[in-house]
Amino acid sequence: MADVLALVEAHFRTGLGEPDARAAVTFLGTDRVEVLRFTDGDVVRYATLGMSAQPMSEPTAALADPVKGPRAELVLSVRGGLADTDKVLRPLAVLAASPQVEGLVVAPGASLDVGEPLWPGAPFTSVLVAESGGLVEDLGLDAPMEPVRFLPLLPMTPNEAAWKRVHGAAALQERWLNSGTDLRDPLRKSVPLD
């Protein structure tokens, strides 16, 4: 499936330009996951490369299909220079490896929690997975493979994550929108939730 990753990397370059940094993380029993960094003005984007090498399968599936199933990569966008966001490399790689390690299917509306700040001093330990098709368009693959979806990650404070569990992803996104929340601010406070 290395050819899938080559297509994904070329797709990133087309949509986001040349990466200005990259790093790789390998967890025991998983394939290598790279995180590419793209800088666009004051916005820094971190994109995983490796999650889409294999399709995700439901944890209840007796056998994982090596060809069919959803494929995805994760993209996190933050304002640069306000925090040491380059330290998000390991947490992002952990999230990208979660389908292999935990048998998760990462889909829009899901919450992913790393159990620690996403970067030093970050008020976020989890992210909300948003809909694909915005910043980086889906990448079609030869049938019967499903397209690779590029899922934006929206950092959530612990209070926002708890509120989302009760009220749902759409309600939290609406709350952010109505409050004019800058979701790229790496130091932002929780949106008012009363």
Mind listing the pLDDT tens digit of every residue in the chain (194 residues)? 459 999 999 999 999 999 999 999 887 777 889 999 999 999 999 999 999 999 998 766 666 667 888 999 999 999 999 999 999 999 999 999 999 888 889 999 999 999 999 999 999 999 999 999 888 999 999 989 999 999 999 999 999 999 999 999 999 999 999 999 999 999 999 999 87
Q: Which long-range contacts (CB under 8 A, 24 or more apart) does 22-30 make?
A: 22/49, 23/89, 25/89, 25/90, 25/93, 25/94, 25/97, 27/93, 27/94, 27/97, 27/101, 29/100, 29/101, 30/97, 30/100, 30/101
Considering the entire predicted model, what is its pTM?
Answer: 0.94
